[in-house]
Amino acid sequence: MLKDVSEPWAQKCRDMRKYLEEHTYTCMVEAMIAAEHGFSNPAQHKLDAQAFLASEGAFEAPEVPQSFASRRENIAQAEVSTEEILENGEKWMGEEVMLAFKKYKEGKSQFKDVVHYGLDELQHQCFSMESCDHTFHHFNFTVKMEKSGGDSSSTPFFAEVKEIHGRKYYSCYELSSHDDGHCHACKNQGMHALKHPICLMGYDSGHADMESPFLYLRDDE
């Protein structure tokens, strides 16, 4: 199973928490001034706080910026354990591949006797970025299916979740032992274990000189 997941919001929270740890504040006034200005200039925040405390309004409670509460909430979210982040990531990816599978099985006679199915295992995944508005995510996974006669099986599939200009496109293919299609994006990241259909039609394979940014997770991480 996958042992790591990366989410932009979690990284932003970690960056904010690190910033606050490195730039602590000596009083609440200084902290609120910093929050109001986006934690942008610690030295200036300290001077402003000293000036405020020395002024006649030192005993007036300064208004707490509305953004301060949301920043505190984001920092609190960063306290979520690594295990919870992994679980949330796997849950999200599991939902994505099963949505791709459901679209694939619609109207296919080979599934007419299937009475129950569900995600068996999320095996490999690799995320690639063609450009800032074009990304694609490749998956290998298995689906456990039970037929009306009681027979059950676990079948391997490949899925791609592509997003272009904010719109998602799903594709899914059943894999056979002969499938070993080439994908520059996955291979350039060392994801040789991730199998692709031989037919290159229908999914994005990137290009030979495709470079970072990449995000990939391996079974041993």
Among residues 100, 164, 156, 103, the alpha carbon closest in space to that of 128 is found at 164
What local confidence, expressed as pLDDT, does residue 89 receive? 87
Q: What is the CA angle 43-48-50, rounded to 5?
A: 100
Beta strands in the chain (DSSP E): 114-131, 134-147, 152-164, 167-174, 214-217
Q: What are phi and psi of 131, to 5 degrees?
A: -160, 180
Q: Is the pLDDT of residue 73 over 50?
A: yes
Write out the two tokens for 21: 């740890």
Q: Quick: pLDDT tens for 21-61.
A: 666 656 666 666 766 666 667 777 678 777 776 765 444 54
- DSSP single-letter state for residue 194: S
Give the whole-angstrom CA distance, residue 189 versus residue 187.
Answer: 5
For the chain, domain boundaries:
8-77, 82-217
Q: Which residue has the tokens 């690799």?
A: 126
Contact residues for 137 (Cβ-Cβ < 8 A; gap 6+): 96, 125, 126, 127, 128, 160, 161, 162
**Count of C-beta atoms within a 10 Å radius of residue 33:** 21
Q: Quick: pLDDT tens for 124-167.
A: 999 998 888 899 999 999 999 999 888 899 999 999 999 999 99
Mean pLDDT confidence for 175-199: 91
Under 8 Å between Cβ of 24 and 46: no
Determine the distance from the C-alpha atom of residue 17 to the mean position of all C-alpha atoms in its chain, rounded to a whole number: 20
194 pairs with which residues across the strands? Answer: none
Q: Is the pLDDT of residue 71 over 90?
A: no
Q: Quick: pLDDT tens for 113-129.
A: 999 999 999 999 999 98
Write out the two tokens for 23: 């730039």
For residue 110, give Cα distances in angstroms to 3, 23, 104, 107, 152.
33, 61, 11, 9, 14
Report the predicted TM-score, pTM, of the whole model to 2 decimal places. Answer: 0.59
